[in-house]
Amino acid sequence: MGQIYSTPKEIGDVPELGLDVCDKKSIDAYFKKEEEYLKKVQEWCKKHGSGKYAGEVITFPVGDGKAVYVVWKLKPVSLIHVPLGDAWQFQYAHRLTAADVKKEIEGARALAALFTKNRK
């Protein structure tokens, strides 16, 4: 069974999409802040975690968005939940095994490579 943790306080506050955001420029700025925040979490996990998968992002479709986790340690499975957007959580995240996490990471890499390859 895996352990799910909140983002470390030292990383800072999660970016919030305010109700006043109604133009593309503001939304793009928000998504940039989200991306920067996720990179901070990844860097923290690489620095404080262990194994070659530390810092890797895994996502699960939930509702109208996705649940986002960053691998902190693979053995035992320790994930950081990153509450971006609607802060969705995957209801079975705590049941993930090391094999499950590896499968998710490798699958995401293969899919990204497929789309990158076809863009050239």
Q: Higher-confidence residue: 108 or 21?
A: 108
Q: What is the mean pLDDT of residues 82-109?
A: 94
Q: Which two tokens stand for residue 101?
A: 């996490």
Is the per-residue pLDDT at 26 higher than 90?
no
Q: What is the mean pLDDT of residues 13-20?
A: 79
Q: How far apart are CA 119 and CA 106, in angstroms?
A: 20
Q: How far apart are CA 65 and CA 59, in angstroms?
A: 10
Is the per-residue pLDDT at 67 higher than 60?
yes
Q: What is the mean pLDDT of residues 51-59?
A: 95
Q: Would the pTM count as exceeding 0.85?
A: yes
Q: Using pLDDT thresholds of 50, 70 and 90, give the confidence band for residue 118.
A: low
Q: How far apart are CA 39 and CA 9, in angstroms?
A: 15
pLDDT of residue 63: 87
Q: Residue ranges of the alpha helices (H) in the chain?
A: 24-48, 98-119
The percentage of residues in the chain with a pLDDT greater than 70, rounded to a whole number, is 92
Q: 43: helix, coil or strand?
A: helix
